[in-house]
Amino acid sequence: MPTRTTNNRLAGLLAGLLLAPAAPATAGTPLFDAHLHYQADQRAAIPPEEIIAILADNGIEHAVVTSTPPANAQLLAETAPDRIVPFLGVYRDRADKEGWMHDATLPERVERWLAAGDWRGIGELHIFGRDRDSPVLRQLVEIAADGDLVLMIHGDLAIIDHIFEIEPDSTVLWAHLGDRPEPTILRAALARHPQGLFIDTSVRDERFLDARGDLLPEWRALFIAHPRRFVVGVDTYSLPRWRRFDDAANTIRQWLDQLPASVARRIARENARELLLDPLLLGLPKD
Ligand SMILES: [Zn+2]
């Protein structure tokens, strides 16, 4: 015969079970995804509300989104202003990805886009050392510095160095661990640019994980040595990438879980929050 206390305890347990919300399949540490695209074909296939649901289901608390055309990122930001941090994608088409740095009409267009919308950054900009002397690059670096905007750069270390030569106060998100994802190169880059350089780890998991999904020792050491300089991102470079978002987010959480908790929290979200969210919202002093 169960006692009254046991009955109460059972009733409490049952109520707790009934009230507990169903945990999403990939629930875990909230992530700030610093590298997403919402391109024209992706928008045609997946409406903005569904994109936001994918992010919510995967515990993506905030996300940087860039797009061609730029209106797509803005549409997402309007759909979920507390979750989406829009970056201005400056390409009109695939040709611009290769040739934007030679298009003298681009800076004016960028200034018009910036004036017409609310943007936190510019990019993703693809550019390598051979084009470092491009006046268009110089102008975009100056525009970004003037507007306190982050530059998302897909390029090599020569370009990163040059951006900080042009504007030492630049803030750069260096995509995909740079073009040569090697700890010695990244250590050197972080030492040369101790203030404004941040590095996203997107789509480079296979470089720092072994076949079992374990962090390679030299990469683990790098992340621990520089916990404030790395951020994560799924990088939805294609429509299938959005369809399999869960897999990529799970992989990110699996390697973050192998780091000391304080380092994992920094890379998972705190670095990006401090870099990209309004300091007033975070209650942080602005410098
Ligand atoms: Zn990208």
Rounded to the nearest angstrom, the distance between the alpha carbon of 124 and the centre of ligand 1 is 6
What letter would DSSP give residue 232? B
Digit-coded pLDDT (tens) for 247-285? 999 999 999 999 999 999 999 999 999 999 976 666 555
Does position 130 have pLDDT exceeding 90, yes or no? yes
Digit-coded pLDDT (tens) for 23-48? 444 457 899 999 999 999 999 999 99
User: Could you tell me if residue 23 is inside a domain?
Assistant: no
User: Could you tell me if residue 10 is inside a domain?
Assistant: no
Task: Please report the pLDDT score of residue 157 as a whole number.
Answer: 97
Task: Please report the pLDDT score of residue 46 as a whole number.
Answer: 98
For residue 120, the enclosing domain spans 28-278
Task: Please report the pLDDT score of residue 156 as a whole number.
Answer: 97
Task: Please report the pLDDT score of residue 24 as a whole number.
Answer: 42
Tell if the pTM clears 0.85, that is, is over it. yes
* Residue 106, burial from CB neighbour count under 10 angstroms (0-12, 13-18, 19+): buried
User: Could you tell me if residue 15 is inside a domain?
Assistant: no
User: Could you tell me if residue 13 is inside a domain?
Assistant: no
Rounded to the nearest angstrom, the distance between the alpha carbon of 63 and the centre of ligand 1 is 13
User: Could you tell me if residue 9 is inside a domain?
Assistant: no
What letter would DSSP give residue 24? P
Rounded to the nearest angstrom, the distance between the alpha carbon of 176 and the centre of ligand 1 is 8
Q: Which residues surround ligand 1, an ion (CB under 5 A)?
A: 124, 235
Digit-coded pLDDT (tens) for 187-243? 999 999 999 999 999 999 999 999 999 999 999 999 999 999 999 999 999 999 999
- Asked if 128 and 134 touch (Cβ cutoff 8 Å), the reply is no
Q: How confident is the model over 152-170, as a mean pLDDT?
A: 98
Cβ neighbour number for residue 31 with a 10 Å cutoff: 26
The band of 20, judged by pLDDT with boundaries at 50, 70 and 90, is very low
**Number of domains, the chain:** 1
User: Could you tell me if residue 21 is inside a domain?
Assistant: no
User: Could you tell me if residue 100 is inside a domain?
Assistant: yes
Q: What is the domain-level CATH number for residue 43?
A: 3.20.20.140
